A = this chain, B = another copy of it.
Amino acid sequence: MDLRFDAEQERFRDEVRSWLEANVPRAGRGGPLPSLDTAEGFEAHRAWERTMYDARLSVVSWPEEYGGRGLGLLEWLVFEEEYYRAQAPTRVGQNGIFLLAPTLFEFGTDAQKERYLPPMASGEEIWCQGWSEPDAGSDLAGIRSRAVRRDGGWELSGQKTWCSRGAFADWLFGLFRSDPDAERHKGLTYFLVPMDAPGLTVRPIAQLDGETGFAEVFFDAVFVPDEQVLGDVHRGWEVAMATAGSERGLSLRSPARYTEAAGRLLERHRALGRADPSRAARLADAVAGAVVDAEAYRLHTYWTATRALAGERIGAETSMNKIFWSETDLAIHETALELLGPDALVLDDEGRPGTWLDGFLFALAGPIYAGTNEIQRNVVAERVLGLPRS
């Protein structure tokens, strides 16, 4: 057991830290960036991805040929720690980089990798996901959108929803039912679809905060050539799921988000301790609990990363991760709002929430998206504890 990073990792950390200090958009040098969920903000975030790409920092764990540095999982964790520490902008490219790219690496043809990875790394092409449908949420296998065989490709029809970043994205990846006679997890195919394809329309959906963070996407006979099928036809479910347990596809939710937030909460609590000690005393237990949980998540991530690096397959533990980070995120932000009191619920002059309220609204979605926590608890009970399926 050794919890130290090695000298090279520490040098990498120093580089990232210095670069971010010099480059993160801040007041007085083009920042903070406007909201990701506006046309202007989306482009500003895209430009930031390009800036990182030019420093070879947008996808450090990818091979060099696709714009990365060929670094490992641990270096990626170092990068993330520094990224959150610097309070750098939300990654507009994250759906592509964290959800699609691992699948491309495992199932993509060389031509697909060359075509899609570099512009994903540079922010030139931003991806959104097309998993859920109005009647296929928790029950993802209930997908009904169809793919019908045509000359040289497929014709897609149907509707996807809750497509994060869907309002402004360039491409969509998603599952469609290619074999109408197959049921549930069978007969699905994984497609890559440009958002400007004829027949495709987007309807942005406003979220709790009033911003259009996600969208519905309608497919009316959208033609997609064979080169835009990822993996085997009719095997889309396996393709989509396979990378969940691999090292690259671990999609470890970056622990830095929570340790950073818990640290800021702790600072706020210290300040409250001076201003209103009895109120601070009431919140002490919850604040400390949030700090402990954020640290537990960080350490558990190293624990899991070590296993992944040793070649172990990470399976249902990703469900445990999901439950833990979403509960931790919510606890941190609920405690913060309680600590800050009613003033933290006031919107600014443009009707936008402050940092903590914004973080709370975001955290509220955690137990819902990427598989509700109810689904995740089923998975943990069945695959880790061996309880029978219902």
Interface residues of A (CB under 8 A from B): 281-282, 284-285
Contact = CB atoms under 8 A, between A and B. Distances in A.
A198 to B, nearest CB: 43
A282 B284 CA distance: 8
Nearest to A286: B285
A284 B281 CA distance: 10
Nearest to A390: B390
A359 to B, nearest CB: 24
Q: How many copies does the complex hold?
A: 2
Contacts of A282: 284-285
Nearest to A285: B282
A363 to B, nearest CB: 22
A281 B285 CA distance: 10
Nearest to A282: B285
A339 to B, nearest CB: 14
Nearest to A284: B282
A380 B281 CA distance: 37
A289 to B, nearest CB: 12
Nearest 4 A-B pairs (CB), nearest first?
Answer: A281-B281, A282-B285, A282-B284, A285-B285
5 contacts: A281-B281, A281-B284, A282-B284, A282-B285, A285-B285
A334 to B, nearest CB: 15
A147 to B, nearest CB: 34
Nearest to A277: B281
Nearest to A283: B285
A285 B289 CA distance: 15
A338 to B, nearest CB: 11
A282 B280 CA distance: 11
A282 B282 CA distance: 7
A285 B285 CA distance: 10
A285 B282 CA distance: 7
Nearest to A278: B281
Contacts of A285: 282, 285
A155 B281 CA distance: 66
A280 to B, nearest CB: 10
Contacts of A281: 281, 284
A303 B243 CA distance: 57
Contacts of A284: 281-282
A269 to B, nearest CB: 14
A284 B282 CA distance: 8
A268 B281 CA distance: 20
A281 B281 CA distance: 7
Nearest to A288: B282
A3 to B, nearest CB: 30
A197 to B, nearest CB: 41
A282 B281 CA distance: 7
A281 B284 CA distance: 10
A374 to B, nearest CB: 14
A146 to B, nearest CB: 30
A53 B281 CA distance: 51
A277 to B, nearest CB: 10
